[in-house]
Amino acid sequence: MDLGIEGRVAVVTGGSEGIGKGAAKVLAEEGARVVILARTQSKLDSAVEEIRSSTNGDIEAISCDVTDPAAVQQTFADIIDRWGRVDILVNNAGKGNANSFDDLTEELLSDDLQLKVFAAVYCSKAVLAGMRAAKWGRIINITTAAGKAAPGSSVPTSMSRAAGIAMTKAMSNDYGADNVLVNTVCIGSVRSGQNFRQAEEAVERGEVTTTEEYYERRGQGAPLNRVGEAREAGDLIAFLASERASFITGTAINLDGGAAPVV
């Protein structure tokens, strides 16, 4: 299927590993000009080398702390100066942060909101004017189904992800008339950099013998009885960024093997 995004300019935050890298790879395969953002330049360089070697895609990397509004403003100004516009934005930067409410602190909540909500706000504001002027844009916010139905010991992640889902719906209504489509993918257990580090820690603690055993156990809670692959997340993200998804906006799609208790 031709997604119709060849030549489009896409920015993926948290693009150096896991879901962000998976999305960047698929977008590059489809002919988009991709810029990945993350804090650590060495991880960015490694991701660029991997994607270029497997796709021959047009991809670049910029080190940027997306929680810093001044850094975001400068980074996107540089991207727009180079490419003229940003057509696709994937707000993927984030990490799991699940605790009981008893353990929730102001610092935990503030840091989580800054990374998962305010960063998405900063990046979206940096691209919206150009998207609206062009009458074409795609913003995909990465959240989790915990933002729809929060289990116990899930804060502050479930709180910030609920905000991200609400923001997605509000933005879709604000910018639909400009053909700027805004959706969110609610990620479940997917092989990501963070999950791999958790798997390694579980091996070190003796809870499992291998990282694969860790993933097998994680997948047992889903009807599909497995964890997802970063590529599967990338495929959905790329579809939502495409011309093929031209009548889809304001949606929150679960990518979790059916694990969430809500649709």
Over residues 180-209, mean pLDDT:
94
Query: In 205-229, where does DSSP find H-type helix?
Result: 211-219
Name the β-bridge partners of 78: none
pLDDT at 56: 84
**38 contacts 28 by C-beta, under 8 angstroms:** no
pLDDT at 67: 98
**188 contacts 256 by C-beta, under 8 angstroms:** yes
Over residues 87-97, mean pLDDT:
96
Output the pTM of the full model.
Answer: 0.97
**Residue 56 vs residue 262, higher pLDDT:** 262
Over residues 207-214, mean pLDDT:
96
Over residues 192-215, mean pLDDT:
93
pLDDT confidence band for 193 (50 / 70 / 90):
confident
**258 contacts 223 by C-beta, under 8 angstroms:** yes
What's the whole-number average pLDDT of the chain? 97
Name the β-bridge partners of 142: 185
Domains and CATH numbers, the chain: 9-190+228-255 (3.40.50.720)
Residue 79 pLDDT > 90:
yes
Phi–psi pair at 129, nearest 5 degrees: -60, -45
Shortest CA distance to 227 belongs to which of 192, 253, 185, 194?
192
- For the stretch 113-127, what's the b/e string if a residue is b when 16 or more beta carbons lie within 10 angstroms of its beta carbon? bebbbbbbbbbbebb
Residue 228 pLDDT > 90:
yes
Q: Give pLDDT tens digits for 111-149.
A: 999 999 999 999 999 999 999 999 999 999 999 999 999
Could you tell me what percent of the chain has a pLDDT over 70?
A: 100
Helix (H) or strand (E) holding 19: helix 18-29
CA distances from 38 to 72, 103, 147, 151, 184 (A): 11, 28, 24, 29, 20
pLDDT at 1: 79
Kindly tell me the sign of the dihedral angle through the C-alpha atoms of 17, 20, 25, 28.
negative
